[in-house]
Structure 1
Amino acid sequence: MKTHLLLALALTAPVALLARADSGTSVAGATAEQATTSKLVYGLLSNSRYAYRPVALDDALSADILKRYLESLDGSKMFFTAQDIAGFDQYKTTLDDDIKSGDAVPAQAIFALYKQRVDQRAAYARSLLKQDIFHFDGNDRWYYDREKSPWATSQELDTLWKQSVMNDWLRLKLAGQQPDQIRKTLDKRYVNLAKSAADLNGEDAFQSFLNAYTNAIDPHTDYFNPRTAERFNQQMSLSLEGIGAVLQKQDDVVVVREIVPGGPAALSKRLQPGDRIVAVGQGGSGPMEDVVGWRIDDVVDKIKGAKGTQVRLDVIPVQAGLDSKPNLLTLTRARIRLEEQAAKSKVIDLPAANGEPARRIGVVELPAFYQDFEGRRDQNGDYASATRDVAKLLAGFKAQNVDGVVIDLRNNGGGSLDEAVNLTGLFIDKGPVVQVRESSGRVSIDGDDNAGVAWDGPLAVLVNRGSASASEIFAGAIKDYGRGLIIGENTFGKGTVQNMVDLDRWPANDGSQYGQVKLTIAQFFLPGGSSTQNKGVAPDIAFPVTVDASEFGESTYDNALPWTRIQAASHVRYGNFTAILPQLEQRHEARVAHDPEFQWWAEDVAQFRAEQDKKYISLNEAERRTERDRDDAKRKQREAERKQLGLAADPLAADDADDGLQAGERDVAKDAAREKQAENRPDPLLRESAAILGDAMGLLVASKQLTAQVLPESHSPLHWAGAE
């Protein structure tokens, strides 16, 4: 999924800056809305009628909330000092009472001190740029991974920041920048760090604090303030009402990053990537408001609005100087479908080889299990749905006479449980898909009640560690039914169900004042009775692990539910691929041993993991240049081999070196174009998944005995390329 959200918050500061207070020595308490919200969230999480695993809000949980709040503010431990942390001990046993009473003063006090520390560190980093310290001939290292390190003293932080600034300088130097240019780039970077912090306010602090509480209950319970809740719902529905432009903050100005095809901005042909928006007016005659220096989400709120209404923008073209006279652009807002995040398809042609015929494999790339809940409630038939979109793609595959289908769920973090169930129903002929156990112990079964399938041919599901939740329901059900092969890595391991609870329902509020809670309400189990919790779904054919389970996944959460199982639900077992897995593995290993792109990918994964394991970066220029030269030589050699072997060129190969810049420092239009190009990079994992599916088809076509063993005729309505 893209890192840039359509007309949404895209701050360039570190994640640690997701909570800040206004400047000044006084510390504000909670607003009336925040006090009510705090009490509502407490009532929700402490009630077993709602929460799957309610936890008493007492002194023990208070200490945990404090720990999580500090980590959410300063997870890198680069701002707070050990002395600051000791001073916060006074709140260890009082935050529970503050949440119950709606008192935000302690949370805001911590927040205010954090503001001071960020300002101080940004100023210290800028001061270092004026010193003669940038010599890189020693053995210094920057130990950047401080998650498990103790909180540092002020003097220790000075050393850490000096190392961090030196690393920033060295990266730019290796990228070819001269000292004056480096100093200018980094000074602006640290100024923007402080500005980004100043942009954030008490509402951000409140949301971060409440999330420290919700995450102390379980890893997937979250509080969304009204603005964040709206953004979440937009992502789920793949739609919003606005002008159809992806915006990004760069320095003090909001810049157009991308134009959404078919939206008002695209149809006007007067807005393009790189253009700067400096003022916004409502309707045909409302006053123009200067938005230079505003938070990006505040600018977004001014630009988006109900379809059919007008918005006026003062725009400085990308090629003009920032002090140029802006152009006035009037647009009529419309409902925008976020097609970039919807299901997509492609076809991979497998050439004839080793006596096997050529085959065509259809691929469905599904980035999320999305559904427009509001559109579905309207019952007008026009709403975004992952299942509906995939069904259309499958119909297209039939028209193209593809032989098999791969569902690509890599980095699909989940979404709608209904969509996971309905999508599974496209491939099975009735039956249970997921078992849901509530806090009371009651188990209900959700499944496919519609006879028939949308695709009855060969099927594989490609997953990785980033495949979670609804992705695991789908992949796990396909595996339990023996409906298809699971290929890739072990999945994330999230086996809990969340529901969005609107806090405005209890005060019977007509507006959106209190936000929503994404609340864990149940645990899900596969048809066979196993939970995916912690363990995830294991692949039938495994690819090299890109990230260790100790670094990413459900098992990394200290308060995650344990794995367990319940009684299996009665379901058909269409097939059992165990008998052919050794042959598939053998063919896979033989093929990738001679597949240069797969081997390059495996080498890069091994190198990445080795570098991550070091937990430090050398500050020796000669050593870093050697590493850079090695990587440059490797890229050039690979491109030469691609050309020699007749392989498709990597569109980013010539532009893959570290430029030392952060996202907000690059040319916005070029960066967006580069992101688009990345979608066309060679994908050896997807191609190999298609080849593995082709192998399975070949084995079953060649042997009736294997077919009878893998796909029992009495149970299988499926057609594996003539192996029915």
Structure 2
Amino acid sequence: MNRIVDFMKRNYKIILLITALSAVLWSFVPSSKNEDPEKDKVLLELLTLVLEKGHYSPIAMDDEFSKNVYSKYLTAIDPTKRFFLQSDMDEFSKYETSIDDMIKNKDLTFFDLTNARLLKRIDESKDIYKSILSKPLDFSTNQMINVDYEKQSYAKSKAELTDRWVKQLKLSVLPSIIDKEKIEASKKEKDSIYVVKTFKEIEIESRENSLKSLNEYFDFIEKELDRNDWFSIFINSIVERFDPHTFYFSPDDKDKFDISMSGKFEGIGARLQKKNDAVEVSELISGGPAWRGKKLEAGDLIIKVAQGKEEPLDIAGMRLDDVVKKIKGPKGTEVRLTVKKVDGTLEVISIIRDEVETEETFAKSSIIDKNGEKYGIIYLPKFYISFDNKDERDAFKDVAIEIEKLKKQNIKGLIVDLRGNGGGSLETVVNMTGLFIEQGPVVQVKSPNRRPEILSDKDSKVQWTGPLVVMVDNFSASASEIFAAAIQDYKRGIVIGSKHTYGKGTVQNVIDLNQFVRGSSYGDLGALKTTTQKFYRINGGSTQREGVLSDVVLPDRYAFIDMGERDEKEALPWDKIEQASYKPVFSGFEPIIAKSKSRIDANEQFKLITENAKWIFERKDINEYSLNIDNFKKEIESSEEQLKKFKAISKFHNKLLFTSLPEETVVLDKDDLLKEKRQRWHEDMEKDVYIDEGVNILSDLKVYNEVKPVVQNKKKKLVRVD
């Protein structure tokens, strides 16, 4: 341990408080990399020490831990089981219960063996796919493919592995053939003398495209990935066993993380997360090129990536960072994404990369007019704050300003829209909650082996005392859950949206690993994001795993699918502590909630959304596909036919009128881009059935507040908070 400075309790430097749930596409400048096994040993030693002393709930590094790391790591480097053979697994298996000891002894034998074998198998796979794609693929047989790779065994021989490659390549080429046939038919329809390409020509073209994509992918592996990249996968298979939000940042990853936190980057403006062997779009950044294009959606799975007019690259099995590198690029260049929509259909989406502006990550508001009655809505994408300069903008101050502007318009109720808000600053959410309640506890934060610390709003001023609705969804997490829970516990407003929020009740710190090493000759060691605290509602319950349960549940496409923290195997458990001392603002909203539920049950739009959600749920476990082209076409046609009835969902109009505040209108007249963004936002809200019900609830609350006594806040003055 002579290389490492003693780790003193509570003595590590807190770099940033973060709650980011997914990766952001950013610009990336590669740096030179030096491979050094001795550095890897130091890194293992250091990470073990920091996790044992700094993690909220460190777990024992024993045989069970070893088995889980073993499984997670091998799945991470060969998720589709297209490289390793069963004989490889038999050889690796002797290390299955020894990884814990090897970590403690800084023994890299297991990693070195598996990494060398993986690179060997990857190199052998080039001969396999090139041989398969050198001749026509037969789509007339009744072959089937199962893409539930997790339940599959490894191939027992090279012949069996080759057969898997054949099926996988057929599945990759089939959609391309069908798309090209449709294009040919469309050309013929427009031009009667056009000579349609034969099936043989289309098959050759599609097969050659797949060959080119695979060549690019394997070339990428060979030229762009080195030992450091593979070792990072191994490291994260270890640290992620502690919980899903503990993650090791290599030096390159840390640089990208810093860029993402600066709030300005060039790319498509989407947050991504790994989903089995594919990459899922978890969120679109408002104002970014993907958001403006209106085609890419949260929940889409990215299957292939193409640069401009080049042929698409199959990204199955690629690491998230590698996919990001392919999608990133300078402003003005084109990237084409082949995505699988939530309903199972495939679509190619072209996006011109651009600079994603931070302005669209800030709070924004609008006036809602319903039958001559004015209401307000504030959309908050995250609880932002500048950790370096507290005088800069933060969500608390911005929301306070927006409330004042809306109050001048004599609004009768307010919606705070936290859908898709992944969290942010703990300090900010405490202050923001104080805009709606009298001084009092907001959240409880607990460090290991310590009594909970109660974080309170100490300002007796109340910014908004009128009717309040908080909108959430499955992706509202962390700080969003703190706010929604506090509003719910105080009975200050009504929480509406998905059945439950994400369920992230933990706090992470990013720890610079270099600070623990004296006179290091190993260069930058990177950083560790690790869970150091849990937070609890003022009623004592945790939001961990469970999330915040909406007072009014609004049907959505994920209504029957378990999403969020509860779906993570390594997530910390739910628990409860003693509740804080607080008094509810109102006695309860039971009549309002019951009235809303009756409206929802009778609403045809919600009925259709529920039916769509059931259809999606029924299809989510479909893992078998026919490789017979006729049967494959029938499956596509059947899905498209069923989807027709759900198109009415996107045609809904709530008949509400949305207008910008007078102060903003002056700015919009001078800024065409911002004006376009606001118009787009208003158009989206006009199609939003959830906002429609939110306004209905505000209308009911307006009457309710007039007759229902307030438990506290009777003498509150409406004072601006700057």
State the TM-score, normalizing by the size of structure 2.
0.71
Are 1:584 and 2:596 counterparts?
yes
1:109 deviates by 2.7
Residues 297-353 of structure 1: per-residue CA shift (max 9 Å, x gap) = 99999x9xxxxxxxxx9x99889xxxxxxxxxxxxxxxx98426613535374533x
Residues 436-487 of structure 1: per-residue CA shift (max 9 Å, x gap) = 1221042111122233234333322222222222222222122111122211
Confirm or deny: 8 A CA contact 2:250 2:526 kept in the other structure: yes
1:554 deviates by 2.1
- What one-letter code is carried by the residue in structure 1 that aligns with 2:697? A
Q: Given the alignment, which residue of 161, 165, 168 partners 1:164?
A: 168
For structure 1, which runs of at least 5 residues remain unmatched after alignment? 11-21, 23-27, 249-257, 262-272, 277-293, 304-312, 320-335, 649-675
Q: Given the alignment, which residue of 431, 439, 459 partners 1:450?
A: 459
User: Secondary structure at 1:613's aligned position in 2?
Assistant: coil
Which residue of structure 2 lines up, in the alignment, with residue 561 of structure 1? 572
Residues 636-682 of structure 1: per-residue CA shift (max 9 Å, x gap) = 7777998898999xxxxxxxxxxxxxxxxxxxxxxxxxxx9997697
User: Secondary structure at 2:375's aligned position in 1?
Assistant: strand
Which residue of structure 2 lines up, in the alignment, with residue 478 of structure 1? 487
- What one-letter code is carried by the residue in structure 2 that aligns with 1:496? T
Which residue of structure 2 lines up, in the alignment, with residue 369 of structure 1? 383
1:171 deviates by 0.9
Cα distance in 1 between the residues matched to 2:704 and 2:287: 50
Are 1:91 and 2:95 counterparts?
yes
Which residue of structure 2 lines up, in the alignment, with residue 613 of structure 1? 621
User: Secondary structure at 1:514's aligned position in 2?
Assistant: coil
CA 1:296–1:150: 2 relative to 1, 3 Å: closer
Cα distance in 2 between the residues matched to 1:121 and 1:388: 56
| Larger displacement relative to structure 2 (474-483 or 699-708) | 699-708
Confirm or deny: 8 A CA contact 1:348 1:687 kept in the other structure: no
CA 1:112–1:68: 2 relative to 1, 3 Å: same
1:568 deviates by 0.8
User: Secondary structure at 1:461's aligned position in 2?
Assistant: strand
- What one-letter code is carried by the residue in structure 2 that aligns with 1:211? N
Confirm or deny: 8 A CA contact 1:421 1:446 kept in the other structure: yes
User: Secondary structure at 2:591's aligned position in 1?
Assistant: helix
User: Secondary structure at 1:347's aligned position in 2?
Assistant: strand
- 1:139-178 equivalences in 2 (<5 Å): 140-154=143-157, 155-176=159-180, 178=202
1:136 deviates by 4.7
Cα distance in 2 between the residues matched to 1:298 and 1:631: 33
- What one-letter code is carried by the residue in structure 2 that aligns with 1:53? S
Are 1:571 and 2:593 counterparts?
no
Confirm or deny: 8 A CA contact 2:504 2:543 kept in the other structure: yes
User: Secondary structure at 1:447's aligned position in 2?
Assistant: strand
Which residue of structure 2 lines up, in the alignment, with residue 697 of structure 1? 698
Which residue of structure 1 lines up, in the alignment, with residue 46 of structure 2? 40
Which residue of structure 1 lines up, in the alignment, with residue 633 of structure 2? 625
- What one-letter code is carried by the residue in structure 1 that aligns with 2:204? D
- What one-letter code is carried by the residue in structure 2 that aligns with 1:532? T
Confirm or deny: 8 A CA contact 1:364 1:407 kept in the other structure: yes
Cα distance in 1 between the residues matched to 2:444 and 2:650: 48
Residues 93-117 of structure 1: per-residue CA shift (max 9 Å, x gap) = 4433433344434313312322333
Residues 19-49 of structure 1: per-residue CA shift (max 9 Å, x gap) = xxx9xxxxx98444333222111111122xx
Which residue of structure 2 lines up, in the alignment, with residue 673 of structure 1? none
Which residue of structure 2 lines up, in the alignment, with residue 503 of structure 1? 513
Cα distance in 2 between the residues matched to 1:210 and 1:121: 26
- What one-letter code is carried by the residue in structure 2 that aligns with 1:571? Y
Confirm or deny: 8 A CA contact 1:424 1:478 kept in the other structure: yes
Which residue of structure 2 lines up, in the alignment, with residue 333 of structure 1? none
CA 1:456–1:105: 2 relative to 1, 3 Å: farther
- 1:80-229 equivalences in 2 (<5 Å): 80-136=84-140, 138=142, 140-154=143-157, 155-176=159-180, 178-198=202-222, 199-229=224-254
Are 1:539 and 2:542 counterparts?
no
Which residue of structure 2 lines up, in the alignment, with residue 19 of structure 1? none
Cα distance in 2 between the residues matched to 1:424 and 1:474: 6
Confirm or deny: 8 A CA contact 1:342 1:386 kept in the other structure: no
CA 1:45–1:677: 2 relative to 1, 3 Å: same
- What one-letter code is carried by the residue in structure 1 that aligns with 2:479? A
Are 1:65 and 2:73 counterparts?
no
Which residue of structure 2 lines up, in the alignment, with residue 527 of structure 1? 538
- What one-letter code is carried by the residue in structure 1 that aligns with 2:375? R
CA 1:224–1:480: 2 relative to 1, 3 Å: same
CA 1:226–1:491: 2 relative to 1, 3 Å: same
| Larger displacement relative to structure 2 (497-506 or 76-85) | 76-85
Cα distance in 2 between the residues matched to 1:703 and 1:647: 24
Which residue of structure 2 lines up, in the alignment, with residue 270 of structure 1? none
The count of corresponding residues between Structure 1 and Structure 2 is 592
CA 1:188–1:388: 2 relative to 1, 3 Å: farther
1:161 deviates by 2.8
CA 1:196–1:458: 2 relative to 1, 3 Å: farther
- What one-letter code is carried by the residue in structure 2 that aligns with 1:613? D
User: Secondary structure at 2:209's aligned position in 1?
Assistant: helix
Confirm or deny: 8 A CA contact 1:129 1:187 kept in the other structure: yes
Are 1:7 and 2:32 counterparts?
no
1:147 deviates by 2.4
Confirm or deny: 8 A CA contact 2:468 2:698 kept in the other structure: no
Task: Give % identity.
Answer: 28
Cα distance in 2 between the residues matched to 1:169 and 1:392: 54
Confirm or deny: 8 A CA contact 1:573 1:715 kept in the other structure: no
Are 1:492 and 2:492 counterparts?
no
Which residue of structure 2 lines up, in the alignment, with residue 14 of structure 1? none
- What one-letter code is carried by the residue in structure 1 that aligns with 2:503? G
Which residue of structure 2 lines up, in the alignment, with residue 255 of structure 1? none
1:696 deviates by 2.5
Cα distance in 2 between the residues matched to 1:6 and 1:698: 43
Cα distance in 1 between the residues matched to 2:458 and 2:140: 67
Cα distance in 2 between the residues matched to 1:57 and 1:495: 24
Cα distance in 1 between the residues matched to 2:562 and 2:127: 33
Which residue of structure 1 lines up, in the alignment, with residue 192 of structure 2? none
Cα distance in 2 between the residues matched to 1:412 and 1:45: 28
Are 1:430 and 2:439 counterparts?
yes
Confirm or deny: 8 A CA contact 1:574 1:716 kept in the other structure: no
Cα distance in 2 between the residues matched to 1:210 and 1:73: 12
- What one-letter code is carried by the residue in structure 2 that aligns with 1:234? I
CA 1:237–1:434: 2 relative to 1, 3 Å: farther
- What one-letter code is carried by the residue in structure 2 that aligns with 1:67? S
Root-mean-square deviation (CA, aligned residues, Å) is: 4.4
For structure 2, which runs of at least 5 residues remain unmatched after alignment? 1-20, 182-201, 271-284, 289-305, 310-320, 336-354, 657-676
Cα distance in 1 between the residues matched to 2:519 and 2:432: 36
- What one-letter code is carried by the residue in structure 2 that aligns with 1:456? T
Confirm or deny: 8 A CA contact 1:237 1:370 kept in the other structure: no
User: Secondary structure at 2:240's aligned position in 1?
Assistant: helix
- 1:294-309 equivalences in 2 (<5 Å): none
CA 1:702–1:232: 2 relative to 1, 3 Å: same
Cα distance in 2 between the residues matched to 1:644 and 1:434: 38
Cα distance in 1 between the residues matched to 2:263 and 2:712: 42
CA 1:87–1:550: 2 relative to 1, 3 Å: farther
- What one-letter code is carried by the residue in structure 1 that aligns with 2:383? F
User: Secondary structure at 2:517's aligned position in 1?
Assistant: coil
CA 1:559–1:337: 2 relative to 1, 3 Å: closer
Which residue of structure 1 lines up, in the alignment, with residue 317 of structure 2? none
